Chain A
């Protein structure tokens, strides 16, 4: 809940705007995200109007809302951003990497400020003075290197996506200065925001004191802390700024050329003469006598004679063609990355996540109930109960359809996951001095929201890994005959009932020898005959890292095993492929959803256990001569030409035997983590879709068990963790 605080523009009436804060926070968040996206994909060389306008509008929108709802720190920062962006979209400045950097940082800072407000506004507001200073330096067109900031020269010289466009500002300034110097120009000069607006009045003195400087007249300003002047001068902007610097900082001066038009004829009350229906009332927009403090301005007015304006009166018409000057915002069709902020509202609705989760739960219950009905009706005589049984079959189908439909509500496109990487990689590559292109494929591929949250960390680690350890330094790459810029590709695709996510890089790949050496060093049991695929899997061992230098990015060796565990926890698998010198590919395979699973139920003693169907390879009845015992009681079974370990579920789960006649003689071969084992069970009970329930919410994690489900008879059955069972067999 946002804290209550003063409204931005003061109010004499009792309006509580806090009810709109939440909408504003979300909206501002989207705008900042969009801005970041657009900044990252901005082509510095050929930035087009649409892109620049789009970015400008994002900042403008956040500023407007922040000011309206009273978040002045955000308003101030975004106002600065907006000023810079305004100059960019008017092509008064050329975009460069330093600007993109400072705008990205400012967007981050804005998010931070907003988050603080959203959380209640405790504590001090984080300082933004440095950012503001850097922005104004860039906005003024100077090359002056920032002093106290984090913007290292490294950042400026190794931008991620574009060939180095080091801030070459002198060119721009020269161009501005190239404007006809001897011809008189009409300018509008705005000075502010100032703590003491009277400081700006000193500017007028300059024009009085310096012969030939020009003419200056005060104009009305809609803000109490800003002064606006109309100036006729033959001096260049640069000269003026230099001059003004004695009294006000450059950052506070905005100079705009005015077309040669007659000043807007207004009534003393700020109305346009000739505008239909403008009211003749008390003056709103008085031109204050020079030097006098501005009265608080009402900030509105009517065009005298404009259609619809109150009290029409005949009057002068405005001479010039203003249309083009005013519409700096071209009315083009929606820009390309204009995603969610611009969409007409009818296309989507916002729903609280809790509601969707509740819906999913209810459908899950429905599935269980329907299963119960199906089970209980099995004993019925089909001839007698034909209608009932037909009805139940229909119910079965309806329930499945409903379930699919509801599960799809939680499906969101991978682009959500992918979106954080461009920024992260850019910063990381900059930091490491590497050049990296980031490519994504299959952004539209959908997966369950619950999975998205859990897959983001492992993916982040893999991508950072590729950048840190995979992609070589530009010089090394060139030496190796590769292009200077490396590529990291992130892709997602559906395959059967799974989603496959790949992280590929064209770096130096992994060294088989190094890995084997490291493994031996750590006392692991490896052989030179191991196939590549198994060698690569070694890096998932805890504490394993072949990085020579441990950086703070990754390389502490804590990463890969956690990645593997996280993925296994999602019932997923990881595979690695690598070619030394060429690159590396990590493939993650995940079931499409966590909540519902196709299961195979097996019986051991009087107990029922569930196996994920996706892990089951085959099953068969075993003859005692097919099983051989080796080592310390470990058992192996021969399946065609392969020997695989046997796991007796009766032993693992210490299942009590009440019926001595019954014994386990069915083998179910499962595959997990690339290995196969055979589980010894009493009988196969069937296959069904099961709703996966969490054991940990009320109990705790149980070894070898990944969850629980409720069977048709209402009883709980435990779901086996095939990964854990397979790992067990290796010891």
Chain B
């Protein structure tokens, strides 16, 4: 069963994402921000990382960059959940090494659809 790391500082968003993913048969580990997520990433390997952009301590871009520097996560799909998809954001995401993005607010169906495309 694929294991997904879901990172968001908003508990309601985390719960929603978690619920959606587990309902579809995925296993989910939640993290509250970039630092927490990175720590959890040290402990185990994930098949996919879903991360919010705006978070305290370490934001989505920062987390993406750190993960890409880590040997185990060089090729893991990382999707950024962001409220805007301006070119700027896309550039930043691309440069940080993200695999793709999903614009908030999204609905659960969309989330699953996108994940299916990248998860192995």
Contacts and interface: CB of A to CB of B under 8 A. Distances in A.
Touch A–B, Cβ below 8 Å:
yes
Nearest to A302: B100
A135 B78 CA distance: 36
B99 A309 contact: yes
Interface in B42-81: 48, 53-59, 61-62, 65, 68, 74-78
B56 A277 contact: no
Interface string B15-54: 1100110000000000011101000000000001000011
Contacts of A321: 95
B109 interface: yes
B9 A341 contact: yes
A323 B95 contact: yes
Contacts of A310: 117-118
Contacts of A10: 107
Interface string B84-120: 1111111111111111111111111110101001100
Interface in A328-370: 329, 331-335, 338, 341-342, 344-345
A20 B19 contact: yes
A342 B108 contact: no
A222 interface: yes
B91 A64 contact: no
Count class of interface residues, chain A: 35 or more
19 contacts: A24-B12, A64-B13, A64-B104, A275-B99, A276-B99, A279-B118, A300-B110, A302-B118, A303-B98, A306-B100, A307-B74, A307-B76, A308-B76, A308-B99, A309-B100, A327-B61, A331-B59, A338-B56, A344-B32
B2 interface: no
Interface in A20-63: 20-21, 23-24, 27, 54, 56-57, 60-61, 63
A67 B104 contact: yes
A302 B99 contact: yes
Contacts of B48: 308
A299 B59 contact: no
A327 B97 contact: no
Interface residues of B, number: 62
Nearest to A226: B84
B34 A277 contact: no
Contacts of A275: 94, 99-100
A522 to B, nearest CB: 56
A27 B85 contact: no
Contact of B99 (A190, A306, A341): A306
A523 interface: no
Contacts of A202: none
A325 interface: yes
A9 interface: yes
B86 A190 contact: yes
A524 interface: no
A129 interface: no
B108 A11 contact: yes
B12 A69 contact: yes
A18 to B, nearest CB: 11
B91 A318 contact: yes
Contacts of A271: 100
Nearest to A57: B54
Contact of A307 (B19, B99, B105): B99
B114 to A, nearest CB: 5
Contacts of A27: 10-12
A9 B109 CA distance: 10
Interface stretch (A256-264, A431-439, A607-615): A256-264
A272 to B, nearest CB: 5
Nearest to B32: A344
A105 B109 CA distance: 36
Given A67-B105, A331-B58, A303 B110 contact: no
